[in-house]
Amino acid sequence: MDYFKELYNLLDNCDKSQDIPVSALLVNSNSEIVAKSYNTRKLNNNISEHAEINVINELISNISYQNLSEYTLYTTLKPCTMCTGAIEQVKIRKVFYYVENKFNTYESPNIEYIHLRNEKNIDLYVKKLQNCFKKLR
């Protein structure tokens, strides 16, 4: 499964709402995508609607329990402190991310962070993220 392609395709939604382009997926133990989301913070005027929190809420609403220890999170940008707290609360233990978040240095000792540096199209995402921040300034 090409998780990066799935994540990248979700970013079009962020362009439309002018949200910072971040997307996230939750994957089950069979490597199937069971939930996907993106930032809707600006769209819904809600500071907590980051991609990681949105995808967690989506899965919880579908399965009706909050222990997500059997799931793995994939995200375009390393989670911020707020999202890391949410990830810890639902017991996700493994987070794969494509781009380092230079504004966040907190790492939970309960989460294994795996930086996927070698994705062949990562530069497309980095350019999209940089363009977004240029427009904000």
6, 32, 49, 52: the catalytic one is 52
Q: Are 77 and 119 in contact (CB under 8 A)?
A: no
52 catalytic residue (yes or no): yes
Pairing label, strands 72-77, 94-99? parallel
CA-to-CA dists, residue 58 to 24, 52, 74, 107, 121, angstroms? 11, 10, 15, 24, 27
Residues assigned a catalytic role: 52
